Amino acid sequence: MNNESTPLLSVQDLGKDYGGQIGCTDVSFDLWPGEVLGIVGESGSGKTTLLNCLSAQFAPSRGAVIYDTRVEGQRDIFDMSESERRLLMRTDWGLVRQNPRDGLRLGVSAGANVGERLMAIGARNYGEIRAVACEWLEKVEIDTGRIDDQPSTFSGGMQQRLQIARNLVTNPRLMFMDEPTGGLDVSVQARLLDLLRGLVTRLGLSAIIVTHDLAVARLLAHRLMVMKNGRVVEQGLTDQVLDDPQHAYTQLLVSSILQP
């Protein structure tokens, strides 16, 4: 186990510009082992830009993202070589995209989608890879009889669960999720949320979840960051931020929720 007093991820003065426009700026926070951080805000608030910088999809314009690697301790992910960063993303990190079609390989079977990350880190025994893939399909409640089917034949909810299995198979320590329940029916959402909640607790994962859905944030996140115009306007314990919001924008967000 890593030192409990070292944050898993330490973000310092991070910013990303697009031409003259600010994507996000002045973002600093620490993420601790086992902690789930929610990033909320309306579309255009910079939350996905921030997630893309944190997960090394984009290079930031300024600032640092320090990750506590298993072997070498804390390192700035943007000082790593391209191959080191790719290895990190294939093993220690997971990235769940809003649209599962962006995170899956649609032309190969469900089993191969899950097994791919194992093969990328050197697994070669077909029987073992298939057994592990089966195990993970069960954990995300996909009928193992579908292991040889292509994900293009799956429903949206199944695809999203497959994407989660594909990411978790290498036992990552940190998951990035961009609107993981976006675009799903409410009943399918509930199932996915329940699954995510269980997996995060059981596996002791750390996660950063971008969502515009405050109910999703309340259910999954320990701590919230509220973004507006590329800046963090408020952060704190999830239920405190939602029940006693201090910033005008957070008060507006919370009071705008429709009660079913």
Partner 1 sequence: MTTDTAMIIAENLGKTFVLHNQGGQKIPVFGGLDLTVNKGECVVLHGPSGAGKSTLMRALYGNYLVDQGSIRVNHNGDWVDMSRADPQKILAVRKCTMGYVSQFLRAIPRVSALDIVAEPLMVLGEDERRAKVRAGELLARLRVPESLWSLAPATFSGGEQQRVNIARGFSAEFPVLLLDEPTASLDAKNRQTVTDMIGEASQRGTAIVGIFHDEDVRKAIGTRLFDIKAMEEAA
Residues that bind partner 1 (CB under 8 A): 32, 35, 190-191, 193-194, 197, 201, 219, 222-223, 236-240, 243-244, 246-248, 251-252, 255
Closer residue to partner 1 (CB): 72 or 194: 194
Distance (Å, whole) CA 204 – CA 81: 28
Please tell me the distance from the alpha carbon of residue 216 to that of residue 224, in angstroms, as a whole number.
Answer: 11
Tell me the closest approach of the beta carbon of residue 65 to partner 1, in angstroms: 20
Closer of 79 and 194 to partner 1 (Cβ) = 194
Nearest distance in Å: CB 194, partner 1: 4
* Sheet of strand 206-210, all strands in order from the earlier edge strand to the far edge: 93-96, 174-178, 206-210, 36-40, 223-228, 231-237
Compute CA 181 distance to the chain's CA centroid, rounded to the nearest angstrom: 11
Asked whether the beta carbons of 223 and 238 are under 8 A apart, the reply is yes
Please identify, using beta-carbon distances, which residue of 107 and 198 lies nearer to partner 1: 198
CB of 35 to partner 1, least distance (A): 7
Closest contact distance (angstroms) between CB of 159 and partner 1 is 20
Measured between alpha carbons, how far is residue 173 from residues 95, 97, 223 in Å? 11, 17, 18
User: Closest CB to partner 1 among 48 and 189?
Assistant: 189
